[in-house]
Amino acid sequence: MMQAIPLKARDFKSDVKPIWCPGCGHFSVLNAITKAMAALGIDKDDTVLVSGIGCSSRLPAYVDSYGFHGVHGRGLAIAQGLKVARPDLTVLALGGDGDGFSIGGNHFIHACRRNVNMTYIAMDNEVYGMTKGQASPTTPMDWDHSKLTPHGPGVRPFKPAALALASGAPWIGRGYSGNPNQIAKLIAEAVEFPGFSFLHVMSQCITFCPEQTDWKAVVSEMDGPPLADADAAAKQFLHEDGFQTGLLYREERPTWPPVGETAVDETALASLAASFSV
Amino acid sequence: MSEHHLSIAITGAGGAGVISCGELLLQAWAREGGRGLLRKAYGPQIRGGESAALLKLTDSERYTAAGHYDVVVALDWDNFSRFEDEIGLKPESWVLCDEGQELPAAVAAAKPHLVHLPFAELAAACHPQGRINMLALGVLGRLLGLPTASMVELALQKLANKPEAYRDAATACIEHGAAREPACRLPVPALGAAGSWYLSGNQAAGLGALESGIRFVAAYPITPASDVLEWMAGGLEQVGGQLLQAEDELAAINMTIGAAFGGVPAFTATSGPGLALMTESIGLAIASETPVTIFNVMRGGPSTGIPTKSEQSDLNIALYGLHGDAPHLVLAPLDIADCVFTTGWAVQLAQRLQTPAIVLSDQFIGQSTAIVSEPRRCEPFPPEPAVEAEATDAGGGEYLRYRLTDDGVSGVAYPGDRNRRFTADGLEHSEKGTPSARQSDHQAQLAKRQNKLTDFNYGDDWAAVSGEGQVGLVSFGSSSAAVAEAAERLAQQGVSTRVVSLRLLAPLQSAALAAALEGCSLAVVIEQNHSRQLFHYLRGQMDFQQPLHSYAMAGPVPLAPENIAQAVVEVMES
């Protein structure tokens, strides 16, 4: 019998040409996703990429799987509805920092808390790129390149890993667009993790934040195994510089919905109707 | 009071159990083959406020709210003023109350017959744990001629999980109340109907949804829609489906879109404020051609408005609340029993036409309980057409999710289907689904999404039409019963009408509506809101062969048939 030839990363790319600027960090994430899919040997037909709105949220169309490009901030909600309804599918949600931490912030908190078995990749470039360069929730306080906030946002950027931890995310990783191989490895681990895995990727915006090329000099890789102690992780996530990459935190806890036998009674509908009969 | 119905209001402080008393009375009435409606009125308090059980026992299934009450049982008069507008009294009404309390001015002014009953004292004498609501149940049951054993049995079922002393006390109080000489003698509507169901509109909607295949619900609590969701939580566990409690309505609508994209028929229920939050993503469901059903139980608006009471004022947002050119389905159940059919129909239409359906119920039919004949069901539609064969083979043709077809409906694939991968998109797209800002794609997809709705054959269920008179009465949803009763009153005055109760609001079946009104010399549009939303919609959508008039009355008090009839007469005389 002929053996199926394993698919390569490029086999997972669609024929739609990305709208991203040359040098955009998101290309690295796209490559990493296709590489991880090839490494995992997962079936294109059984995989769904779901996103919101923004530069990074365009990604599902660039992958040859099923996809859903939704509205701004709601990708996580679509993805959870899909995964709960169709637990047989591999579901990845992805989007940017504005999409996930600003307009979609409430969904982020509750997705971490709910722990549906899926992966969320936040591609964080600290800026709203699609609307031409406004400050986002992760933009540094003194970043004064936007006409909307000419003196800088003046508000402390928030810390996605700390928020994810506080909200109950059981798997927290961080990658950097300058190191796509590491991102691919992290995505593969995230997909295989039984629960909600949150991968925060620092994905540079070459157009509106060219200074982010300096990230290369400061990123580091975490030594040793991921933290499993929430107290230690909280201390780290609140005080770190945010440039440490790798699998940062991991604990196992029950996913939602609880896995159980759904014994479907063929007569259940008739019984429900009969319950109204006097 | 007429020989056709008997109306009873039971009022009291929250916790006095007036709703339980009303439910048990109606259930016992149902067992004897009676017909009737129980409306529940609550004050704004969560617990401990006042409440009222408003019963209308009838000999037909046309359930309108009672205009005045034949019997009022006041377990106490605390905060009765909150219900004054809804509990009208006449000199021939009977009021049963404790002697010790002062009558509210409005009650005294109506000069009803007064019967003094020391409820608390009698209940305490029956049993140390005796409760006044059970005593009132016995008294009212006697008045209606209901078997005492039946009332006791129903009460014991309800109290099955309570301590034995409670059950003993209930039995003693019901039996004592029923043994007393009747407080008054009133003609009672005919009994003997067979095959009764006892349910609320919200339960009926849940049943219709599950029977039409809903297996995923995303839920965010809101009054007065929460009980649809709560009933479905239990129902889905039995039929095998998932209910996800969302963090907000924005999540709820998107979760249903996600599930429906996965091929699992999906549903959410909400009320005005929640519908407002959902509108952006309802547009996403339209653009991505994802079927979802949004069941909206209307309450007084705008803003928080009057959460516990009814109004038909979400018609505008349901029709026009979306940005862009966004054709979708809007339906409205005509009464409690029809919530089964219309919800089931909405679900199946949404699935077939791959678009969202908004169903406009309201607090009146949603939270009222009625005794009805077994409700009509929506027959299952024939299976969906298969995806075109040429698109199924890898490399042997391309799968076009948004293929332009004659009827506008494209073959749908779901994740997991082999070799039909696509990305659904809220961005305008090509037939394949690739984002496109080209005029040709935009025009083609807009027309496709419109045509699939307008070209579909909805059959005869777009409205309920009755009568052959020359005065057209057009309404939608839960106004239908009040309009039908108004038509009956008008007939008694020699005015022959034609009643059109719209069930399908969008797409409006203009040709069918015009045909239904053919020969009418005038038509009156009747609705329960302030700004004449249906009237303006109809005028904007089509030309009428006859002058069109409006009777619009805001909630929260249900539309009164006598006021509708009077308004129609005034229009005719003007």
What ipTM was reported for this prediction? 0.97
CA torsion, ordered A199, A203, A208, A211, to nearest 10 deg: 120
> Looking at the predicted structure, is the pLDDT value of residue B349 above 80?
yes
Q: Chain B closest CA to A211's CA: distance in Å?
A: 31
d(CA A247, CA B111) in angstroms, rounded, equals 79
Nearest to A70 among B27, B198, B284 (CB): B284
Mutation site for A-interface testing, chosen from B236, B255, B284 by largest number of A Cβ within 10 Å: B255
From the candidates B26, B261, B376, which should be mutated to test the interface with A, based on the most A CB atoms within 10 A? B261
Q: Would you call A81 and B256 a contact, using CB atoms and an 8 Å cutoff? A: yes
- Could A86 and B198 be called an inter-chain contact, meaning their C-beta atoms sit closer than 8 Å? no
C-beta atoms of A89 and B262 within 8 A: yes
DSSP H or E segment with residue B7: strand B5-13
Q: Which residues contact A152 (CB under 8 A, 6 or more apart)?
A: A135, A140, A141, A142, A143, A144
Q: What is the pLDDT of residue B95?
A: 96
Region for residue B79 given its phi and psi (left: phi exceeds 0; alpha: psi -120 to 50; beta: otherwise): left
In the predicted structure, residue B79 carries a pLDDT above the cut 80: no
Q: Are A25 and A177 in contact (CB under 8 A)?
A: yes
Of B35-44, B214-223, B433-442, the range with the lowest mean pLDDT is B35-44
Contact B207 A273 (CB under 8 A): yes
Q: Widest CA span of chain A, in angstroms?
A: 76
Q: Give the three-class secondary structure for A163.
A: helix
What count of other Cβ atoms lies within 10 Å of the Cβ of residue A152?
A: 15
- A55 touches B at CB < 8 Å: no
Phi, psi for residue B450 in degrees, rounded to 5: -75, -45
d(CA B335, CA B343): 12
Please tell me what DSSP assigns to residue A73. T
Across the interface, do A71 and B281 touch by the CB < 8 Å criterion?
A: yes
**CB within 8 Å of chain B, chain A residues 3-22:** 16
Residue type, A139: T
Domain parsing of chain A, residue ranges? 9-274
Q: Which residue has the tokens 């209001």?
A: B9
Which of B482, B487, B485 has its CA nearest to residue B467?
Answer: B487
Domain B5-179 has CATH 3.40.50.720: no
Say if CB A104 and CB A75 are below 8 A apart: yes
Q: How many Å apart are CA A189 and CA A225, to the nearest integer?
A: 13
Closest to A63 (Cα-Cα) out of B422, B426, B414: B422
- Cα(B493)–Cα(B441) distance, integer angstroms: 58
Distance CA A124, CA B519 (A): 66
pLDDT at residue B15, rounded to an integer: 79
Q: Which residues of B touch A77 (CB under 8 A)?
A: 246, 250-252, 254-255, 258
User: Tokens representing A225?
Assistant: 């195994």
Check residue B16 and give its pLDDT: 84
| Cβ within 8 Å of residue B453, ≥6 positions away | B327, B328, B329, B353, B355, B408, B506, B507
**pLDDT above 90 (res B4):** no
Cβ–Cβ under 8 Å, residues B360 and B343: no
Judge whether B542 and B571 are in contact, CB under 8 Å: no
Give how far B237 is from chain A: nearest CA, Å.
8
Evaluated on CA atoms B448, B449, B450, B456, the torsion sign reads positive
**Nearest-angstrom CA–CA distance, B547 and B556:** 29
| Length reported for chain B | 574
Task: State the pLDDT at residue B261.
Answer: 98
Contacts of B196 in chain A (CB under 8 A): 277-278
The whole-number average pLDDT for the span B72-86 is 85
C-beta neighbour count of B168 within 10 angstroms? 17
User: Where is A200: in which H helix or E strand?
Assistant: strand A197-202
Kindly state the tokens that stand for A30: 């796209």
Give CA–CA dist A251/A115, Å, rounded: 12
User: Mutating which of A58, A78, A113 best tests the B interface, going by the most B Cβ atoms within 10 A?
Assistant: A78
Q: How close B254 gets to chain A, by Cα (Å)? A: 5
Strand-pair partners of B198: B371
**CA angle at A78 for the pair A76 and A80, rounded to the nearest 5°:** 65
Chain-chain contact of A278 with B196 (C-beta, under 8 angstroms): yes
How far apart (Å, rounded) are the C-alpha atoms in residues A136 and A107? 17
- Cα three-residue angle B400-B402-B406, rounded to 5 degrees: 100
Which member of A66, A71, A85 has the closest CB to residue B284? A71
DSSP category for residue A98: I
Q: Which residues does chain A have within 8 Å of residue B247's beta carbon, measured at their own beta carbons?
A: 106-107, 109-110
Give the model confidence (pLDDT) of B184-212 as tens digits: 889 999 888 888 999 999 999 999 999 99
How large is the angle between the packed helices B164-179 and B148-158, nearest 10 degrees?
160
pLDDT > 90? residue A265: no
Chain B nearest-CA distance from A178, in A, is: 28
Residues of A in contact with B422 (CB under 8 A): 66-67
Q: Locate the domains of chain B by residue range.
A: 5-179, 198-373, 385-456, 461-573
Q: Which of B390-404, B443-457, B537-551 comes out lowest in average pLDDT?
A: B390-404
User: What is the spatial distance between Cα A266 and Cα B9, in angstroms, rounded to a whole number?
Assistant: 42
The secondary structure of B119-146 as a DSSP string is HHHHHHHH-TT--HHHHHHHHHHHHHT-
Please give the single-letter amino acid code of residue B475: S
Percentage, residues of chain A above pLDDT 70: 97
pLDDT, averaged across chain B: 94
**Cβ-nearest to A81 among B30, B210, B259:** B259
Chain B: closest CA distance from residue A167 (Å):
13
Torsion region of A246: left, alpha or beta (phi above 0 gives left; psi -120 to 50 gives alpha) = left
A210 in B contact zone (CB under 8 Å): no
Would you call the peptide bond into B561 cis, given omega within 30 degrees of 0 as the criterion? no
Q: What is the pLDDT of residues B480-539, one digit of tens each?
A: 999 999 999 999 999 999 999 999 999 999 999 999 999 999 999 999 999 999 999 999
Q: What is the pLDDT of residue B2?
A: 47
Distance CA A59, CA A52 (A): 10
Test B281 with A70 for CB contact under 8 angstroms. Answer: yes
The answer to whether the Cβ–Cβ distance between B262 and A86 falls below 8 Å is yes
Query: With pLDDT > 90 as the criterion, what percentage of chain A qualifies?
Result: 94
CA atoms within 13 A on the CB side of A206: 12
Which of A62, A69, A265 is best to mutate for the B interface (most B CBs within 10 A)? A69
A221 touches chain B (CB under 8 A): no
Question: Quick check: helix, strand or coil at residue B525?
Answer: strand
Contacts of B567 (CB under 8 A, 6+ apart): B524, B551
Backbone angles phi, psi at B247, to 5 degrees: -85, -15
User: Does any CB of chain B come closer than 8 Å to the CB of residue A78?
Assistant: yes
Handedness of CA B146, B147, B148, B150 (dihedral sign): negative
Q: Which residue of B has its CA nearest to A46?
A: B416
B448's enclosing H/E stretch is: helix B439-454
- Which helix or strand (DSSP H or E) is residue A220 part of? strand A220-221
Query: Cα(B328)–Cα(A70) distance, rounded to whole angstroms?
Result: 18
Q: Is the pLDDT of residue A12 over 80?
A: yes
CA distance linking residue B416 with residue B396, whole number of Å: 19
Does residue A2 carry a pLDDT above 90? no
Which site among B423, B427, B434 would you substitute to test the A interface, given the most A Cβ atoms closer than 10 Å to its Cβ?
B423
Tell me the C-alpha distance between A38 and A42, whole Å.
7
For residue B371, the chain A residues in CB contact (below 8 A) are 278
> How far B112 CA sits from the closest chain A CA (Å)?
35
**pLDDT tens, B325-338?**
999 999 999 999 99
Query: Any chain B CB within 8 A of the CB of A48?
Result: yes
Long-range Cβ pairs for the range A135-143 (8 Å, 24+)? A136/A96, A136/A97, A136/A98, A136/A101, A136/A102, A137/A97, A137/A98, A137/A101, A137/A102, A137/A105, A138/A97, A138/A101, A143/A209
Q: How far is A245 from chain B (nearest CA, A)?
A: 30
Arch. (CATH architecture) of B461-573: 3-Layer(aba) Sandwich (3.40)
Q: How many angstroms away from the CA of B238 is the closest CA of chain A?
A: 6
Q: Is the pLDDT of residue B239 over 60?
A: yes
Q: For residue A45, which residues of chain B lie inside 8 Å, CB to CB?
A: 415-421
Task: Give me the amino acid identity at A54.
Answer: G
Token pair 């689904």 in the structure block, residue: B433
To the nearest whole Å, the CA of B541 is away from the closest chain A CA by 30
Q: In this structure, which topology does domain B198-373 adopt according to CATH? A: Rossmann fold (3.40.50)
CB B363 within 8 A of CB B310: yes
Residue B322's φ and ψ, nearest 5 degrees, are -105, 150
Q: What is chain A's length?
A: 278
Query: Considering only CB atoms, which chain A residues are within 8 Å of B239?
Result: 264-265, 268-269, 272
Chain B interface includes A141 (CB < 8 A): no
Identify any residues that bridge with A30 across adjacent strands, giving them in sequence order.
Answer: none
Look at B247 and A110 and tell me if their CB atoms are within 8 Å. yes
Bridge partners of A134, per DSSP, are: A128
The 10s digit of each residue's pLDDT in B362-419 is 999 999 999 999 999 999 998 876 676 444 444 556 899 999 999 999 999 999 999 9
- Residue A3: pLDDT band by 50, 70, 90 thresholds? low
Contact B261 A78 (CB under 8 A): yes
B471 DSSP β-pair partners: B497, B522
Q: What are phi and psi of B37, to 5 degrees?
A: -130, 140
Question: Tokens at residue B260, please?
Answer: 């429906």
Q: Which amino acid is at B77?
A: W
Q: Give the nearest chain B residue to A44 (CA atoms).
A: B421
Express each pLDDT in B51-68 by its tens digit.
899 999 998 898 999 989
Question: Closest partner residue to A278 among B198, B284, B415, by Cβ?
Answer: B198
CA distance B473 to B529: 16
Please indicate if any CB of chain B lies within 8 Å of the CB of A109. yes
Which of A53, A71, A82 is closest, CB to CB, to B261? Answer: A82
**CB atoms A79 and B258 under 8 Å:** yes
**Quick one: average pLDDT of A104-126?**
98
Through-space distance between the first and last CA atoms of chain B, rounded to whole angstroms: 31
User: How confident is the model over B292-303, as pLDDT tens digits?
Assistant: 999 999 999 999
Sign of CA dihedral A18, A22, A26, A32: positive
Contact B258 A46 (CB under 8 A): no
Task: Return the residue of A nearest to B31 by Cα.
Answer: A278
CATH number of A9-274: 3.40.50.970
Size of interface A-B (CB pairs under 8 A): 172
| Contact flag A110-B259 (C-beta cutoff 8 Å) | no
Which pTM value belongs to this model?
Answer: 0.97
Mean pLDDT of A250-257: 94
Buried b (16+ CB within 10 A) or exposed e, B409-439: bbbbbebbbeebbbbbbbbbbbbbbbbbeee
User: Which pLDDT does position B1 carry in this prediction?
Assistant: 40
- Give me the percent of chain B exceeding a pLDDT of 90: 87
Tell me the C-alpha distance between A142 and A155, whole Å: 9
Q: What is the mean pLDDT of residues B307-323?
A: 97
Residue A176's φ and ψ, nearest 5 degrees, are -140, 135
